[in-house]
Structure 1
Amino acid sequence: MAWDGPTYRMVDGERIDGVWCHVWRRHDLGTKYYVDDLVVYADGSVSCGAEDLPGLKKHLDTGRLALTPPDAPVKLDERSKWESRWGEPRTQESFLLEVADRVEELNGRPTAARRCWDAAGRYAREPSEANRELLRAAYLAVPQHLRIYVLGDMDLLDRPLRILLTDVRTHVDGDGPLVTTEMHESGLEYFRRQAEAIAAAERQRAALHADDPVTAGRATVISHQTVYPRGRPAEPDLFVLRNDFPAPIAYDGETYPSVLHGYWALSAADPADRARIREAPAGRDAQELGGQVARRDGWTGLRLAVMAGLLRAKFTQHPELAAVLLGTEDARIGYTGYSDAPFWLHARDDRGRNWVGRLLELVRSELVLARET
């Protein structure tokens, strides 16, 4: 059973991330089961009618949800535990631990596997009996069907851990090799090498990502398309980022009443159409006119450069508007709307490219550079 994602739901304007996997759900009015998506969210809520982790446990206990098809044959691994390359069977208890682990992961907190790695590293640095017991507890906290994969080592699996947790002169798992002092030392050396490799990778990553911000940026700023039947407020705000905001722009030898006027006029093939669009009463009128005329050759390849040029002209020629854009600091800018093509918008489906928002961020960085030079 594999987890997939990402997915999310919105609660009071806040995005709650989640992941999902398949389970078998019993029909409300019968005994047959069908496949359904069990979604687990960062706030601990669960779909399939379970609502939360206690509800999920109740649904599993009563058979309302099942982890495998109820009529599926049980597949047994007849090899010894030491030789087996399969995890232990998934039980309802271990699955609930796995679900709780997904919640930790969604919240950016250490998972059981991460805590096990940390305990192994601590024991390798200081091989005391107290640290060995902490490692044992961390290993047993990993859902039992996932323990064999906890190290991510497809050759040795979790055997270095099982050796370290077995006393000297005792067989691993009862049917494995007899543990020696040398085997214990080899297990400790395994984790020392892993720690050195991880540290080297982190140093390399730090060098390669040296220009990445070290602190979190501002939350995303969303520029919504809004109608002001009584006129826009006198105080400039995020509405000035809109392409239909009336701000005369001198660009390429002409003056346009707004970015929309300039964009759609420059898209037209016929000079007469360009003039009509430029003189439209409002930006949305210019957009509607522009959408009805023949497009100039190669417009698809030119449109981003034209939009960037118009936005650059708008904010360099109007310092009061530039101040609003600079006020967004390093926030990602999402540009929404219902009149523009998804190519320009911060939209939910995969057609939304948010190019206006991205170009606004580019112009903002150019304004910062100009201010500091």
Structure 2
Amino acid sequence: MSWTRPTYRLVDGERIDGAWCHVWTKSCTDYYLADLFVYADGAIRCVSEMDLPGLRERLAAGSIALSNPERPVPAPAQSGPRWSARYPEPLTDEGFVGEVRDEIESLNGRPTTFDRCWQAIRRYMHEPTEDNRQSVRAAYLAIPAHRRVYVLGDMDLQDIPLRKLVTDHGEPVGGDGPVATAEMHREVLEYFQAGDRGVQRSRELYGMLHADDPQGAGTPAITSNERVNPPDELPERLDSFVLRNEFPATFLYRGQRYPTVLHGYWALAAADRADHDHIRDAATVREAHEVGGRVPLRPEWVLVRTAVMAALLRAKFTQHPELAQVLVSTGDARVSYTGISESPHWTDRGPREGRNWVGRLLELTRAEILADRVVNEEG
């Protein structure tokens, strides 16, 4: 089955995480497609509530089916020896119950049958004794049969190495394959060890290619929210509000003084020089913004506006060391710049809207300030 997340339900105000998949349910004499929801507390819902024993009963009674009984899918014709087959076993009702049980374990952060099988494999690799091999066998057979081919994540061999390992000496692998021997089991052990070596090489390569990435967890993201009534002058106490474009901090850019980044942005956007000066000298941020939004803008302003914003932010923070220090104190945190007054191009409005370019440019400005400090220290 193909499971989809996230989903959840609320119980007495507590969120219970879940997952869901499609099944077929019977109404009178007809079957129709329905969603089956599984939750971390073991509850299952498909039309009505049930638990694992209830699911097993409904599967046996035919009120829930894993495919449309009115349009049965023919089983694929088997060709070649069964022991080396690279296709999954057929999905059965009991196998599906086992899959649901695994979903519940996963939702609770507990080991699934896949996880327990890999734990047993690790123990066998560390100490290849007969007892540990039998543990691998038990863990492998505990996996729902239709999912066993996926446990190793090997696109070429599927679970064939495990089929060999769990077969006792002198017995045919899969019932119709070669007889299992100690040498065969040693070859399987080497297969797992080679896989580990390959993973280690990949990790080393990844570490080399990404050597400039931060080590460990980064600084938590910060959110810069718009304020309804921004101050008209520099406040005594500086906080994260200094990141806002409406924050009062006069700076010089190309021979002109602007009281805020928003003043500078909309003044430079204006096509007419008189409009530029009017916006530059506006008494409030709101006035500067509203006037700038009404006057004709420079041709192709939309193509250059991001670079202009970057230059204005750079001027603001490099000319006000106390503001730069607040920005630098955010470490490597992602900056989420929210608000509704500025365009979604500049603001973060969730996953479906907003490009957060001011947030990105603040992070760039922060990096430039730190880079200048590093260079000056070395110089």
So what's the TM-score if we normalise by structure 1?
0.81
Q: Percent identity?
A: 44
Preserved contact between residue 60 and residue 66 of structure 1 (Cα < 8 Å): no
Q: In structure 2, do the counterparts of structure 1 residues 244 and 68 end up closer, same or farther at CA, with 3 Å as the change threshold?
A: farther
Q: Tell me the secondary structure at the aligned position of residue 281 of structure 1.
A: coil
Asked whether the equivalents of residues 23 and 68 of structure 1 are also in contact (C-alpha less than 8 Å), the reply is: no
1:1-373 aligned at under 5 Å gives the runs: 1-3=1-3, 22-24=21-23, 33-36=32-35, 38=37, 44=40, 62=58, 67-69=66-68, 71-73=70-72, 75-77=74-76, 79=78, 81-88=82-89, 89=91, 91-100=95-104, 102-103=106-107, 112-113=113-114, 116-117=117-118, 119-228=120-229, 234-372=236-374, 373=377
TM superposition shift of 1:356 = 0.9
SS at match of 1:243: coil
User: CA 1:256–1:95 in 2, change beyond 3 Å: closer, same or farther?
Assistant: same
CA drift of 1:21 comes to 5.0
Could you say if the C-alpha distance between residues 369 and 275 of structure 1 is closer, same or farther in structure 2, counting changes exceeding 3 Å?
Answer: same
The residue type paired with residue 317 of structure 1 is: Q
Distance 2:243 2:321 in 1: 13
Give ranges in structure 1 of 5+ residues lacking alignment: none
Structure 2 counterpart SS, 1:76: coil
Letter in 2 for 1:2: S
Q: In structure 2, what is the Cα distance between the partners aligned to 1:78 and 1:283?
A: 74
Q: Deviations over 1:285-329 (max 9, x none)?
A: 322222222222332332121111111111122222222222222
Q: What is the rounded CA distance, in whole Å, between the counterparts of 2:338 and 2:330 in structure 1? A: 16
**TM-superposed deviation, 1:284:** 2.9
CA distance in structure 1 between the partners assigned to 2:258 and 2:328 by the alignment? 23
Superposed structure 1 runs of 4+ greater than 6 Å apart = 8-11, 16-19, 27-31, 45-48, 229-233
Please say if residues 165 and 188 of structure 2, whose CA atoms lie closer than 8 Å, have aligned partners that are also in contact: yes
One-letter amino acid of the structure 1 residue matched with residue 317 of structure 2: F
Structure 2 counterpart of 1:73, one-letter code: P
Cα-to-partner distance string for 1:122-163 (whole Å, 9 max, x where unaligned): 423432123213323443454433211112223211010111
* CA drift at 1:226: 2.2
* Alignment check: 8 A CA contact 2:7 2:17 kept: yes
Bigger Cα Rg: 2
AA partner of residue 2 (structure 2)? A
Q: Displacement of 1:175 after TM fit?
A: 3.5
* 1:184-214 Cα shifts (integer Å, max 9, x gaps): 2221221122112111111111111212222
Check whether the contact 1:97–1:143 (CA below 8 A) recurs between aligned residues. Answer: no
Q: Matched residue pairs, number?
A: 360
Structure 1 stretch displaced more, 195-204 or 297-306: 297-306
Where do 5+ consecutive residues of structure 2 fail to align?
Answer: none
- Once the two structures are TM-superposed, the CA of residue 337 in structure 1 deviates from its matched residue by 0.8
Gap change, CA 1:86 and 1:326, over 3 Å in 2:
same
> Which TM-score applies when normalising by structure 2?
0.80
Structure 1: distance between partners of 2:325 and 2:38: 43
Distance 1:362 1:84, change over 3 A: same
Aligned-partner residue type, residue 215 of structure 1:
G
What per-residue deviation string (whole Å, max 9, x for no partner) do you get for residues 243-269 of structure 1? 111211211211111111111111222
Over 3 Å counting, the alpha-carbon distance change for 1:26 and 1:291 in structure 2 is farther
Instruction: Calculate the aligned-residue CA RMSD, in Å.
Output: 3.7
